[in-house]
Amino acid sequence: MVRVSIIAAALAMFTIVVNMNSLARANADPASVEQLVAMALEVNPAVRAARQRWYSAEHSIKQAYAPNDPIFTYTNNDSPKNPFAKPSLRSYNLTESFQFPGKALLQTDQARRTAQIARLTYDAAVRDTRAAVEAGYYQLVLDSSLDQVGEENLNSLEQVLKVTQIAYTANQVTQTDFISAEFDLAAARQQQAQYRTAILNDETALDQLLSRPTGEEITVDRTLRLDPLTARLDDLVDLAWRERQEILEAALAERNSDTALNLAKMEYLPDFSVGTELDNYITPNFAPSPSQTQDWSLIVGFNVPIFFWLHQKEDVERARHDLEASRDDMTSVRDQTAAAVTTAYRTTQLAYQTAMLYRDSLTALSRQNFNVALIAYQSGKIDFVTLAGTLQSYFGARISYLQAANQFLAGRVALEQAIGVPLPK
């Protein structure tokens, strides 16, 4: 026992060391979105709870095969003084009830499908947690990029402030230009504080999904990557019909409803009970003969559905309506899935095109326009309003790119949720 305890302690210590090394590597190397998803699926409480409910449902399948527990009855019969005194007859009865053959098989099929539905519920929890982690990660990346854009905008505003200060000192412009530049710079600094707060909130949201203490340091890869959608819309709709958890759950629910209808019809068939009884006559005169003070009895019973018009018939009608409702639910989920995939696909494609337009063309043009305007302002060819407008246009182009990138990444996450599985590579 001592040796076993030492081995167990050594294994526990080894596990702790491995986990500490894994955490150290996670903090040392920037974690990708795939790594964050893997960590969340392992430790997220909602995923763990769904997994345990699936395991619980798996252990309900074999119970459907098991018959009811037998009932043992002891009778202290014809006691002359009180129920606990010496009787004239002792009876020992054992009774077992049985369903009509075939019912248990159908009930087992229902339990097996219920366990499959629990597994699909777990898969849906995995899907939603993956989507939440991806959305949180992308939001952190986008807010970090927005913070970088804000820093560059601050540098540009400081550059404008210096230019206006020089021009004002040389009596080339009025004090209004200098004051306006100071105002814009102060407002931008306050906006930058909001960006930093958004980043902290994004990190807290990720901590919650990873079931980590708030503020615990973890290094995340914050590189913004936009990979285009290459799959065809029809292929994605077909994939969603095959893989979306709600569709598969609806299909299993429909089959369970069909089984429930068969079970309702089988209520017209009788269930049985079989029992045996041993009578031990303490008073020989009560026995079949003075020399035979023990005898056996066989008891066979079955239910008679004489109230079928009120019980079984209504169960059948109810099961039939439940089956029709399950079929309609199946059709509704398929239609909703097709519409959700189609809408998300179109929106995501448009967002990608918009993001590429701002990244590859409009941002560069607006930057060039600002540089030209800055030189023109120094030479007195344009006024401050025009200069500020070009800077605002440049800043707005970069913000528009990030907004389009945000819509694209959010669309990818929504598309994966609507399909039920990650997008094919």
Amino acid at 333: V
Assess whether 318 and 408 both reside in one domain.
yes
14 has pLDDT over 50:
no
Assess whether 211 and 241 both reside in one domain.
yes
Amino acid at 395: F
d(CA 138, CA 132): 10
d(CA 344, CA 362): 25
19 has pLDDT over 70:
no
Tokens representing residue 130 in the block:
């993956």
- What contacts 56, CB < 8 A, 6 or more positions away? 118
Mean pLDDT in residue range 125-133: 94
Strand duo 294-302 + 71-77: pairing: unpaired
d(CA 129, CA 137): 12
d(CA 422, CA 425): 9
Residue 111 belongs to a domain: yes
Question: CB neighbours (10 Å) of residue 394?
Answer: 25
Residue 7 belongs to a domain: no
Residue 230 belongs to a domain: yes
Domain holding 116, by residue range, is 24-66+101-269+307-419
Tokens representing residue 12 in the block:
């526990």
- pTM over 0.85? The answer is no
pLDDT band for 124, please (50, 70, 90 cuts). very high
The neighbouring-strand residues paired with 289 are 292
Mean pLDDT in residue range 167-187: 87
Helices (H), 87-102: none
Backbone φ and ψ of 125, nearest 5°: -65, -40
Number of domain units in the chain: 2
Backbone φ and ψ of 126, nearest 5°: -65, -45
Q: Which residue shows structure tokens 């210590």?
A: 13
Assess whether 141 and 280 both reside in one domain.
no
Mean pLDDT in residue range 128-155: 93
pLDDT of 53: 93
Assess whether 30 and 114 both reside in one domain.
yes
Residue 12 belongs to a domain: no
Assess whether 186 and 201 both reside in one domain.
yes
Mean pLDDT in residue range 248-255: 92
Q: Which residue shows structure tokens 């009865």?
A: 93
* CA 261, 264, 268, 273 torsion-angle sign: positive
d(CA 410, CA 241): 22
d(CA 113, CA 61): 9
pLDDT of 309: 66
Assess whether 92 and 116 both reside in one domain.
no
Assess whether 124 and 187 both reside in one domain.
yes
Residue 197 belongs to a domain: yes
Express the helix, strand and coil content of the chain in percent, nearest 5 each.
70, 10, 20
Assess whether 232 and 335 both reside in one domain.
yes
d(CA 168, CA 264): 92
Q: Could you give the angle at the alpha carbon of 405 between the alpha carbons of 335 and 391, nearest 5°?
A: 145
- Exposed / middle / buried, residue 260 (Cβ in 10 Å: 0-12, 13-18, 19+): buried
pLDDT of 361: 94
d(CA 410, CA 211): 23
Residue 255 belongs to a domain: yes
Assess whether 280 and 204 both reside in one domain.
no
pLDDT of 45: 93
Query: Across the chain, what does the average pLDDT equal?
Result: 86
Assess whether 42 and 117 both reside in one domain.
yes
Assess whether 148 and 122 both reside in one domain.
yes
Running DSSP on this structure, what letter comes out for residue 63?
G
Of 110-119, 175-184, 289-298, 383-392, the range with the lowest mean pLDDT is: 289-298
Residue 9 belongs to a domain: no
Kindly write down the DSSP assignment for every residue of 100-154, as one continuous string: PTTHHHHHHHHHHHHHHHHHHHHHHHHHHHHHHHHHHHHHHHHHHHHHHHHHHHH
Assess whether 288 and 211 both reside in one domain.
no
* 336 vs 65, higher pLDDT: 336
pLDDT of 28: 57
196 has pLDDT over 90:
yes
Lateral strand order in the sheet of 89-98:
71-77, 89-98, 272-281, 294-302
d(CA 330, CA 274): 43
pLDDT digit string, tens, across residues 199-243 = 999 999 999 999 888 877 778 888 888 999 999 999 999 999 999
10 has pLDDT over 50:
no
- C-alpha distances (whole Å) from 257 to each of 64, 262, 308, 313 are 17, 9, 21, 16
Mean pLDDT in residue range 100-127: 90
pLDDT of 307: 77
We report the CATH number of the domain holding residue 114 as 1.20.1600.10
2 has pLDDT over 50:
no
* 335 vs 104, higher pLDDT: 335
pLDDT of 103: 86
Question: CB neighbours (10 Å) of residue 294?
Answer: 11
The last residue of a domain, from among 254, 284, 304? 304
pLDDT band for 285, please (50, 70, 90 cuts). confident
Of 42-51, 123-132, 134-143, 376-385, the range with the lowest mean pLDDT is: 376-385
pLDDT digit string, tens, across residues 315-368 = 889 899 999 999 999 999 999 999 999 999 999 999 999 999 999 999 999 999
pLDDT of 306: 80
Residue 149 belongs to a domain: yes
